[in-house]
Structure 1
Amino acid sequence: MKAIVTTRPEPHRVVDRDGNAEPYRHQLSIDDHVALAAARDVADEVTAVGIGGEPARGCVRTALERGADSGLHVEYDPIEDAAGDKYATVLARVVARESPDLVVVGQSSSFVGSEIATFVGEHLDWPTATRMTQLGASNLDADVVVEQDELAVQRKLAIGRQEAVAVEPPAVFGVDAGYTDPDRAPLSTVIDGQQADIETVALSDVAPGESRFSMSVGAATVEDVTPNERWGRGRPPRTGTVEERIYRMLGRGTEDGTSAGERIDASPEEAAEQVVAYLQRNGLL
């Protein structure tokens, strides 16, 4: 069985005994450490996937040092953190490229968090089990009938309530942080991981429709802008409903509170150029 596991960075900070704090450093998130442990419990081959810049590549290296069999870095220069649905889109493209049996995601990472597993499952039309706390029939607290090609999963429902289900791969698992406390890898595994090659592919090769701009902000729109009434220095609007007066005070829309807009049907880069040109023509830039 082959599994893909996410490797996402999150900021870590070390404080020594004297109270001196080191600068923040991006390291593999604790939740993806747990996801890697879960993937290794059931898969014969585990591929660690990082999406982003150098911090993401560093997380792939950490996963290799922790026992992942191979590493893949989807490289681009991020403007800021990726939007959750964009990250999931690229991850789903990687899954389609690699054809694994499982996708294992740390459930509660601070970076594009728990929605990732659900988004990826929707993109792939695969069954998805989130908030997973146990994996494998022998580890479950309850009995569940499992067919030959299925995996037994225990997952949280609410405080004090869990359920046991059988899931047939290919599937997506969102792993709860309480699944396990990951052990340190043997020194031989760490050395092998440090020496392993990481496959690097460009974002445009995996998801041709995405860019460093779209990964963060998505589609762009332009709205007509009207000058603000001098409500800060003079009298605010006295007529119309509260919503209509707010619209006019913010300089958006018309007397009836509506707002006209235009959606730009172009790539993010072309859309940005059109927005700048529009603002320059109207003396707003």
Structure 2
Amino acid sequence: MRALVTARSEPHRVLDDDGTAEPYRMQLSIDDRVALEAALDAAEEVVAVGVGGDDARACVRSALERGADRGIHVRFDPIESIAGEKFATALARVAARESPDAVFVGESSSFSGPEIAGLAAARLDWPSVTRVTELGAENLDADAADPDAIDDRTSDTDLAVQRKLAIGRQEVVVASLPVVIGVDAGFADPDRASMDTVIAGRRAEIESNDLADLVPGETRFSMSIGGATVEHVTPNERWGRGRPPRTGTVEERIYRMLGRGEGETRSAGERIDAPPEDAADRVVEFLRANELL
């Protein structure tokens, strides 16, 4: 079996020997470490895929140091975190080119749920199985299914998987290859690799692909906003955001930025210097004049 596995970053905080916490730094996510363990158990060749900037490339390198055979970096300079649907699109493009038997995606409720696995499967038109806790008929729990019966029903183009339904409940399904597998965070406790594996991973070449070449039409901006469409941008001239007012005296400009202007610039931030009854009458008059009452 050939497998792709996601290599995404998340912030980690490390404690010094004296207990002092260092600043957060981006490293390969725990979820994808678990997915890598699952891929290494099931596949003869594992390819780690990272999407983004230097953090993504570092995560691919980390996956290579943990036993992945190859690394692919989809390169671009992200503005902020990548939208899940956009990551799934880039992952699907790599999978379509590499033609693996399975794509492994780490998932947990705290970092990334099953949406990336499902979205990637939809773009590839492959089946998907999420919250997977075991792979292969020989590893299934006897309480969940009869391993011998499952083994008799599977072929070289099928994969038996056990998945979590709820607390204390599991089910077994047989998925046809190729398949996208969402690996539950409880699948395994990632082990440290041997020194030989780490050295080989540090020496391995990482294949780099520009985002525009792999996913035409996507930009560093669109990768962050997801499916949103921006038609026009209007600067906010209040509270100091956007372009400041260009007309009037300094005092008038400051008042307009604070929402306390006169005439057409009147707003909810305006103060009425009058006795309470007169102030109330003026508010009612304003609401009626603007058809708000």
TM-score range, shorter chain: 0.7 to 0.9
Question: What SS does the aligned partner of 1:97 have?
Answer: helix
Question: What SS does the aligned partner of 1:222 have?
Answer: coil
Q: Tell me by how many angstroms 1:224 deviates.
A: 8.4
Shift of the 124–229 alpha-carbon distance from structure 1 to 2, 3 Å rule, reads farther
Query: In 2, Cα distance between the equivalents of 1:120 and 1:158?
Result: 24
Query: In 2, Cα distance between the equivalents of 1:150 and 1:200?
Result: 32
Of residues 137-146 and 37-46 in structure 1, the stretch that sits farther from structure 2 once superposed is 137-146
Give deviations 1:26-45, integer Å, cap 9, x for gaps.
11001101101101111111
Q: Tell me by how many angstroms 1:111 deviates.
A: 5.4
RMSD over aligned CA atoms reads: 2.4
Q: Partner of 1:232 in structure 2? A: 269
The aligned runs of 1:101-112 (5 Å cut-off) are 101-108=101-108
TM-score, with length taken from structure 2: 0.77
Question: What SS does the aligned partner of 1:181 have?
Answer: coil
Question: Is this contact kept in 1: 2:82–2:223, CA < 8 A?
Answer: yes
The number of equivalent residue pairs is 242
The aligned runs of 1:1-285 (5 Å cut-off) are 1-108=1-108, 113-141=113-141, 142-143=145-146, 145=150, 146-148=153-155, 149-218=157-226, 219-222=229-232, 230-233=267-270, 235=283, 238=287
Query: In 2, Cα distance between the equivalents of 1:164 and 1:109?
Result: 21
Question: What SS does the aligned partner of 1:68 have?
Answer: coil
Question: What SS does the aligned partner of 2:56 have?
Answer: helix
One-letter amino acid of the structure 1 residue matched with residue 154 of structure 2: E
Q: Tell me by how many angstroms 1:223 deviates.
A: 7.9
Q: Partner of 1:262 in structure 2? A: none
Question: Is this contact kept in 2: 1:32–1:109, CA < 8 A?
Answer: no
TM-score, with length taken from structure 1: 0.79
Question: Is this contact kept in 1: 2:76–2:210, CA < 8 A?
Answer: yes
Question: What SS does the aligned partner of 1:179 have?
Answer: coil
Of residues 11-20 and 196-205 in structure 1, the stretch that sits farther from structure 2 once superposed is 11-20
Structure 2: gaps (5+ residues)? 237-263, 273-282
Q: Tell me by how many angstroms 1:221 deviates.
A: 2.7
One-letter amino acid of the structure 1 residue matched with residue 225 of structure 2: V
Q: Tell me by how many angstroms 1:222 deviates.
A: 3.3
Question: Is this contact kept in 2: 1:90–1:207, CA < 8 A?
Answer: yes
Give deviations 1:172-196, integer Å, cap 9, x for gaps.
0000010011211111111111100
Shift of the 225–5 alpha-carbon distance from structure 1 to 2, 3 Å rule, reads closer
Query: In 2, Cα distance between the equivalents of 1:64 and 1:7?
Result: 10
Question: Is this contact kept in 2: 1:10–1:110, CA < 8 A?
Answer: no
Give structure 1 regions of 4+ aligned residues with deviation exceeding 4 angstroms.
Answer: 109-113, 223-229, 236-239
Structure 1: gaps (5+ residues)? 240-247, 249-254, 257-285
Query: In 1, Cα distance between the equivalents of 2:265 and 2:180?
Result: 50
One-letter amino acid of the structure 2 residue matched with residue 137 of structure 1: A
One-letter amino acid of the structure 2 residue matched with residue 230 of structure 1: S
Question: Is this contact kept in 2: 1:9–1:27, CA < 8 A?
Answer: yes
Question: Is this contact kept in 1: 2:12–2:27, CA < 8 A?
Answer: yes
Question: What SS does the aligned partner of 2:186 have?
Answer: helix
Give deviations 1:53-88, integer Å, cap 9, x for gaps.
011000101111111010000000000001111111
Q: Tell me by how many angstroms 1:17 deviates.
A: 4.1
Give deviations 1:194-248, integer Å, cap 9, x for gaps.
1000000100010011010110124213388997762232638757xxxxxxxx9
The structure whose Rg is larger is 2
